[in-house]
Structure formats: C-alpha cells, structure tokens
Structure 1
C-alpha cells in the first residue's frame, strides 16, 4: 500500500510539473547590439530598434496586438531591458547592456500600447506579451529582417 501511494504521488508531481510548463517559452539573455535592427512580425508588424535605445514601429494593429491597445499608425518611443531592484521591483533601465525582457515606452498616438517583448529562441526572436508570466502571450513573434 505504501509503495502505491508513493508511486501515485510521484506520478502526480510529474504531471503537475509538465502541465505547469506547457505552453511556456523560455527567454534568453542577449546583449543590446543583438536587439538593434529591423524586426518583422507574421502579419506585417514592424519594429526598428536603434542603439540609442529608441525605436520606431508600424502596423501594430494586428488582431492580437489591438487587444493591448496598439494602433497601426507609425509610432516611436524608447526601449530598455528590465532589471530587478531591491524588493523584487522591476524597472526598464537604459544603462543595462543585456537582458531577456524589453520594456517599451510608446510616444504619441500609440502611447496607450501596453506590450513588452521577451527574447526567445536563443535570441533569434522577440515575442510580444502583456503578461510577464507568458513570454509569448500575445502570439506575435518578431524575427530579424535580413
């Protein structure tokens, strides 16, 4: 009886670990120079990230991004990697040279757009999200344009 209970608990623990990770995407820390350049999404969404930590964006009105209040109008803003400060508070900080989460600050017509980008696929893609627990939560993955 004792072995049966232990086996059942072990099976339950394995099941819970697998379901907790289902659908999750791991992030990758990269240097800022791996972010700079042009990135495109699957439905014509575009980002251009500059070394001075500014960006321009266009066509962010795809179905999955409008839920995060993004518009299709050309927009611009600033970007920075997130860092954790004392007490577990996270802020985006322009001085940080590497990271796996990018905070975006939109200006102008798109200032209500509330998305972050997670660096995924070993640094080969950026996923849009509005939930830090789901790196690819908005199901829009940007890849570097050639």
Structure 2
C-alpha cells in the first residue's frame, strides 16, 4: 500500500525539482585559456581533426561528419587562421589577431575555401580540456562534437 509523503517532504520536492531542471538545461560553462593551451592537435569522436599552430594558423580534416552537417564543412583537408573571439562594447564579436587568451575560438578559412560556406567556431569547456564545435554563441556544444587533445 502506498503511503503519501509528509507535507514537509512534498514541499522539499516542489522546491528542489525546478532547480534540478535548471541545472539539467543550463548551458555548458566555458573556460578562459591561454594560446599555449590551444596549440597542438585535437581529435573529435568521428575522425574530425584540427591542428592549431602558435602562428595562428590551423589545418583541419574530417569536418564533414554527420554531427557537423549544419556547419557545411567538407571532409577534405582545410587550412586557415584561428583566433580567440573578442566581444566589443556594442555586443558584437570578432576573431582577434592579437588576443592571447579566450573561451571561444573563431576559425577563418583560407581564401581558396571561402566558397565552401563552412562556418564553425569552438567553445573551450571542461577547464580547457575540451573544444566543443558550435554554430550558436548561446550554446557552446550545439553540434555535440567534442575535440580532445591528441596525445
């Protein structure tokens, strides 16, 4: 036989349930890191690969994985420049050529790839141990592709 919980237990449940929902729906927390934490090769779960150099250039391959469909990137080897995203006073953001740290990375394809329409940014999460592919500045991991440092 089911016994109804006491009134105080029910009130605790009513108070805690919304907090649990907020926690479950909260966006991933980004982390600010320095350039040296980004430089190197990062791999995704389905063969995606991005290599960042200290001179702000990158190469990438495998960005045509199913989860990255919305980014419109090809699987062939790509190259270009990278930089931390900087937010201006008016709220707009841009990929900086000089920022030495940040929590979002903007990729700029080399001119020969511009017509591909590949749009992909990376959010730094997990205290800098993961780069999340994103196309939405409000949702750091919206593509659900997480890059980790290649060891």
Unaligned residue ranges in structure 1 (runs of 5+): 1-6
Aligned residues: 137
The 8 Å contact of residues 73 and 109 in structure 1, kept in 2 or not, is answered as no
Alignment match of 1:60 (pick from 51, 59, 63): 63
1:26-71 per-residue CA deviation (whole Å, 9 max, x = no partner) reads 1100000110000000000000000010100001110011221011
Per the alignment, residue 103 of structure 2 pairs with: 100
Partners of 2:73 and 2:131 in 1: CA distance: 17
TM-score between the two structures when normalised by the length of structure 1: 0.85
Question: How much has 1:20 moved relative to structure 2?
Answer: 4.4
Q: Which residue is equivalent to 1:138? A: 143
SS at match of 2:36: helix
- The structure having more radius of gyration, on CA atoms, is 2
Unpaired runs of 5+ residues, structure 2, are 1-10
2-structure distance, mates of 1:125, 1:73:
23
Tell me which residue corresponds to 1:90: 93
TM-score by length of 2: 0.82
